[in-house]
């Protein structure tokens, strides 16, 4: 195991844990941007799924009082997503590292642009259970393919008139359940080899510590500060990853 691999592993774990603690999603966006430089896609995605569940469980405890209000909304996203996970997992073996890195970078840039322009986008006030279910299903597909279950649901929920707490009550448990299910599926497919488990053991402390830092920051931010931190964090990371891959 090379020093480059260990350093990349710890950097990805710290970045992914921080954003998951901060926002309840995004471990794959930051971790995969680093880990795909030194690991095959199947290994990087399977580690991200496990680390996302670990850091996500911590963050759910923080917003436990808000969970009751999001139960009905959560089911509309979660149940269709469970159908989409196997479809995404089947596609994982067909994805090259280069293609997956560009997909991750594209989502980072899309997220940054979305949250920067969020105030100019229309707010969807009326209930749309069918649209919620479609977004949830697509999140499940992305979760199985790249541990990106939170990408589309986060943008969709941001267009609803929900508070930061109400949004977290949907997104955080949604991501934990979807990625926990994906991790079980990855284990059944044999992705958690001895080498992969060793890498996970090395990454776990960095994930836990940085997730706690992200949770502490989340508690202190206003909605406005929370949005702009996400904008710059994701947009800058996406731009750097795109430039590195293309150049």
Query: What is the per-residue pLDDT for 198?
Result: 94
- How much is the pLDDT for 202? 93
Q: Which two tokens stand for residue 202?
A: 């090395």
Q: What is the largest CA-CA distance in the chain?
A: 54
How many whole angstroms separate alpha carbon 55 and alpha carbon 155? 21
CA dist., res. 54 & res. 49, Å (int): 9
What pTM, to 2 d.p., does this model score?
A: 0.79
Q: Where are the domains of the chain?
A: 3-246
Segment-wise mean pLDDT, segments of 10 residues, the chain, 247 residues: 88 86 74 86 90 78 64 84 91 79 78 71 77 92 85 81 76 88 93 93 90 84 74 71 67
What is the structure's pLDDT at 218? 80
What are the CA-CA distances from residue 183 to residues 35, 55, 135, 186 (Å)? 17, 14, 21, 5
CA 167 to chain CA mean position, Å: 15
Q: Report how far residue 172's alpha carbon sits from residue 181's, in angstroms, rounded to the nearest whole number.
A: 14
Q: What is the spatial distance between Cα 16 and Cα 22, in angstroms, rounded to a whole number?
A: 10
Sequence-distant (6+) residues with CB within 8 A of 165 are 63, 66, 69
Residue whose pair of structure tokens reads 């430089």 in the numeric block: 37
């Amino acid at each position: 195991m090379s020093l480059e691999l260990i350093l990349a592993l710890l950097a990805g774990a710290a970045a992914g844990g921080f954003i998951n603690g901060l926002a309840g999603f995004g471990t794959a966006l930051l971790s995969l941007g680093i880990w795909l430089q030194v690991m095959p896609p199947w290994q990087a995605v399977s580690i991200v799924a496990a680390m996302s569940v670990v850091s996500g469980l911590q963050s759910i405890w923080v917003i436990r009082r808000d969970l009751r209000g999001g139960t009905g909304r959560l089911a509309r996203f979660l149940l269709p997503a469970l159908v989409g996970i196997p479809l995404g997992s089947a596609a994982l073996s067909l994805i090259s590292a280069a293609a997956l890195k560009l997909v991750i970078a594209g989502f980072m840039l899309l997220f940054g642009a979305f949250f920067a322009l969020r105030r100019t986008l229309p707010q969807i006030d009326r209930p749309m259970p069918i649209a919620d279910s479609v977004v949830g299903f697509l999140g499940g597909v992305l979760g199985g393919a790249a541990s990106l279950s939170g990408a589309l649901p986060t943008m969709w929920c941001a267009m609803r008139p929900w508070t930061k707490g109400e949004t977290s009550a949907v997104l955080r448990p949604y991501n934990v359940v979807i990625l926990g299910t994906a991790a079980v599926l990855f284990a059944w497919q044999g992705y958690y080899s001895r080498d992969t488990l060793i890498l996970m053991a090395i990454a776990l402390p960095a994930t836990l510590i940085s997730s706690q830092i992200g949770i502490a920051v989340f508690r202190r931010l206003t909605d406005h500060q929370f949005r702009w931190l996400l904008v710059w964090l994701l947009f800058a990371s996406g731009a750097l990853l795109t430039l590195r891959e293309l150049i």
